[in-house]
Amino acid sequence: MTVQLNLNRTYLLLLCLFIFSHITSIAQNITNEISGTIKLDSTWNPKIYLSHIPSFGKMHTMSKSMIIAETNINENGYFHFNTEYLPKEDNLYRIHISKRNASPASLIIGGKDENHFFLVANKNSHIGIMGNKGGMNSVSIDDEQNKIIRRIDDIVEYIDSTNFNESRVKSEFVAKAFNEQIRKIADTCSYPLASLYALHKSKFETDISNNIVFYHNFLNKWSKDDSNYFIEFQKKIPTRKSTISNTLIIGIAIIISFFLGFFLNKALNKNIKVKTKLLKSLSVQERKIFSLLKEGKSNKEISDECNIGLSTVKSHVSNIYSKLNVKSRKEVLDME
């Protein structure tokens, strides 16, 4: 009986240990980390380094101060970096290895020994990397955003390979077509940093002048992203000419002109109406004399023309002045 009880206890203890180890392994699996396996030959140092890339302009800059972590690659090629101390926002990082007897801070660009690749990560990232025999160029990454980054890198590598294998004309065609494809990825990608990475890899500087609207729309799309990466990119894009304000200014000018014209017209009409009213107050004889005054004729000439006496003419002229509210012949002549 006692033996049976002891056996049960042992089974229970083993079961607890099994459950505990299982829970621990699950907890380890969900630890925030960048981990994976990379197959290296003996020419490489079995260490791997993680560098922070603060701006796209620093992608091809190597400095010891940029390296934020280093870890060993074990005999199975496994390595891992903890990501819990990384910023909570997505940032660009570079993972690199170095040759045996070379400095840890070494950057190899191009050729079969290219020793680095880029990825986007944050403090909550859980990224798995699978290296193949093709070296650092051919790693695959399991999270969605970094799959896009790898796809972009693959296209860029293809463009470079045509420089190596094909004629200049074909290389230029391929570069143009595939850079356009990378820009489409940038346009449709839902991750801001991967999208910006695509634009940087598409040699956007040579495309800005032909496609400025695309770049303004791109900046509008990600206007809420105020990271250094976007601020740096924004500085490279010429500012949009303020077409809205220009339209607004033209609109306001038209409205002001319209109202100015309206009021001027109204004021002029009012003046004409007043004059017409005043002229209507003149008698038939006075109107005839008024028209002769307008022709610049003297009292004597008016007297001769109208067969009336000079004193009568003077009397009419005086009445005309009084009705039209003028004081001299000059004012009569100036009247329109």
Partner 1 sequence: MKFIKIYILSILLFVSVVLSYAQESSFNLDRQVYMHKPDSQTRNISLNVKKDITFMTLQIASKINFGTLTIIIFNSKDEIVDEFSIENKTTRLDDFKTNNIQEVVTGQITKSIKDPIPGKWKIKMVTEKAVGQVQYTSIIYSN
List residues near partner 1 by CB under 8 A: 58, 60-65, 102-103, 105-111, 163-168, 171, 206
Closest distance of CB 152 from partner 1, Å: 17
Residue 167 or 220 having the CB closest to partner 1? 167
Which two structure tokens, joined as six digits, stand for 175?
């570069």
If the CB atoms of residues 88 and 110 are measured against partner 1, the closer one turns out to be 110
Read off the tokens for 146. 């970094």
Instruction: Give whichever of 117 and 290 is closer to partner 1, judged by the CB atom.
Output: 117
Residue with tokens 């490489």: 44
The nearest distance, CB 101 to partner 1, in angstroms, is 11
Q: 255 to each of 108, 263, 265, 266, how far by Cα in Å?
A: 64, 12, 15, 16
Q: How far is the CB of 166 from partner 1 (least distance, A)?
A: 6
Minimum distance from residue 60 beta carbon to partner 1 (Å): 4
Q: Which is nearer to partner 1, 155 or 313 (CB)?
A: 155
- Closest approach, Cβ 64 to partner 1, in A, equals 5
* C-alpha distances out from residue 53 to 58, 59, 66, 120, 316, Å: 6, 6, 7, 10, 100
CA distance 225 to 122: 15
What's the CA gap between 79 and 100, in Å, rounded?
18
Residue 116 host element (H or E): strand 116-121
Question: What is the C-alpha end-to-end distance of the chain, expressed in Å?
Answer: 135
Tokens linked to 242: 């303020």
Give the nearer residue to partner 1 in terms of CB position, either 206 or 315: 206
144 vs 160, which CB is nearer to partner 1? 160
> What are 221's two structure tokens?
């799309």
Pick the closer one to partner 1 by CB: 105 or 308.
105
Smallest separation (angstroms) from partner 1 to the CB of 246: 34
The dihedral through the CA atoms of 192, 196, 197, 198 has a sign that is positive
Residue 141: CB minimum distance to partner 1, A:
23
